[in-house]
Amino acid sequence: MKIVIVIPTYNEAENIGRLTDVLQQEFLKRPQHDFHILVVEGNSPDGTANIVREKMKSNLNVHLLMEKVKAGLGAAYVYGFREAMNELKADVIVEMDADFQHDPKDMVRLIDEIDNGYDYVIGSRFTKGGSIPEEWAFKRKFFSVGGNIFSKLVLGIFNVNDFTSGFKASRVKGFVDRLSLDKILSQGFAYKIDLLFKMHRLGAKIKEVPIKFGLRDRGDSKMEKNNLRDSLRVVVLLRYNENKSFVKFLFVGVAGFIVDASLFNILRISILSSRNAALASGFVAMMVTFLLNNYWSFGERKIEGVKEKVLGFVIYITSSFIPIFVRSKLVGFAVSTFGDTALVSNTAFLIGIIFGLIWNFTVYSKIIWKGKK
Ligand SMILES: Nc1nc2c(ncn2[C@@H]2O[C@H](COP(=O)(O)OP(=O)(O)OP(=O)(O)O)[C@@H](O)[C@H]2O)c(=O)[nH]1
Ligand SMILES: [Mg+2]
């Protein structure tokens, strides 16, 4: 297999020459593969590019890609991925830092798992046997560990423990070649989370290999100050894009709830019995939510055609009426059993709403706005 190690650099003159030398030695350990190094240079002022050019004279498997300006880690990788796929015809792409935080000796361990049939192999700091540097300040440790737990829960990917590792091997065929690289959500560090999420969605067989993440050997950190905020934005955006309709449906639900609950209480106190107030407020809220759902939550699957609209509306009223009816019965039963107090009626009312939420989303998304297949 042709394996291209993509290494982004910015002011890594003290590291890049030594790193390529060590990697060349590692390549000899797996003679069955054709290894290449592709340095994506962010136009460093410290002469990093010249060191790479020097190495290229005696090593045909070292390549240099020059960026016009330093544009962030994500941008550098996208540039490198394209070159590795289109020009170098890579079968496997490895992502790796230039500063020896990733032990070059671990590289073949990632490749071995690709050989074992995995498509996406992550050098993981947060799996058994992996670690982050003891020396890191508490804050960096906290955000690194916390950020990973947060990503795991929000994205619902439970077989991964390290979402922001920069040491990975990816299979090109069927995976990297199917990613829309121009739609990556971050130009910076957070591109990693987006890429991982998309590989997971493509059905990549993922394997975590424990690594000990070292301290930067020499040179200065290029960590951007906004990494944390940017990562948070990417995680939330990915979740939102996945469940756009549901998130919007919930917002519509909140709007409906405000209309419903206030009207319910106004009517209950003024002119109607609790039972009838629940009926009337539910009906008004239903009309409001139908309009918002059709033009916003399920806007992409908006009902077209007059006949379809009428039919959709009739099904909507009929199905939405079921939880309202159930709720009204529930409130009636609760107040006659436990007494007509605000606490009793509102508790029964709330239980009814939860039932309605589940019922409605199911009917709306599976029947009324099921969309075209
Ligand atoms: N081309 C390019 N390379 C970058 C850019 N930002 C960082 N790099 C390189 O990407 C790798 C990772 O960056 P680091 O600064 O080591 O980030 P880090 O490992 O999270 O932080 P430290 O622990 O402080 O090293 C290094 O090889 C950098 O030289 C960039 O904007 N463009
Ligand atoms: Mg580093």
pLDDT given for residue 47 in this prediction: 95
Ligand nearest to the CA of 98: 1
pLDDT means over runs of 10, the chain (373 residues): 98 97 98 98 96 97 96 96 98 97 97 98 96 91 90 91 96 96 92 96 96 88 82 91 82 90 93 90 85 85 81 86 90 94 92 88 86 57
- Residue of minimum CA distance from atom 5 in ligand 1: 73
pLDDT given for residue 218 in this prediction: 85
Question: What's the helix, strand, coil split of the chain in %, to 5?
Answer: 55, 10, 30
What domains are defined for the chain?
A: 2-242 (3.90.550.10), 244-368 (no CATH)
- Measured in whole angstroms, the distance separating CA 241 from the mean position of its chain's CA atoms is 9
pTM here is 0.76
Cα(167) to centroid of ligand 1, in Å? 12
pLDDT given for residue 321 in this prediction: 83
- Residue of minimum CA distance from atom 28 in ligand 1: 9
pLDDT given for residue 371 in this prediction: 67
Q: Rounded to whole angstroms, how far apart are CA atoms 193 and 198?
A: 9
Cα(72) to centroid of ligand 2, in Å? 14
pLDDT given for residue 300 in this prediction: 77
**Index of the ligand 1 atom closest to the CA of residue 41:** 1
Cα(218) to centroid of ligand 2, in Å? 9
Q: Are 110 and 94 in contact, with CB atoms under 8 Å apart? A: yes
**Index of the ligand 1 atom closest to the CA of residue 216:** 25
Question: Is the CB of 78 inside a 6 Å radius of any atom of ligand 1?
Answer: no
Substitution candidate for ligand 1 out of 73, 82, 187 with most atoms within 8 A of CB: 73
Question: Is the CB of 10 inside a 6 Å radius of any atom of ligand 1?
Answer: yes
Secondary structure (3-state) at 170: strand
Backbone angles phi, psi at 37, to 5 degrees: -115, 130
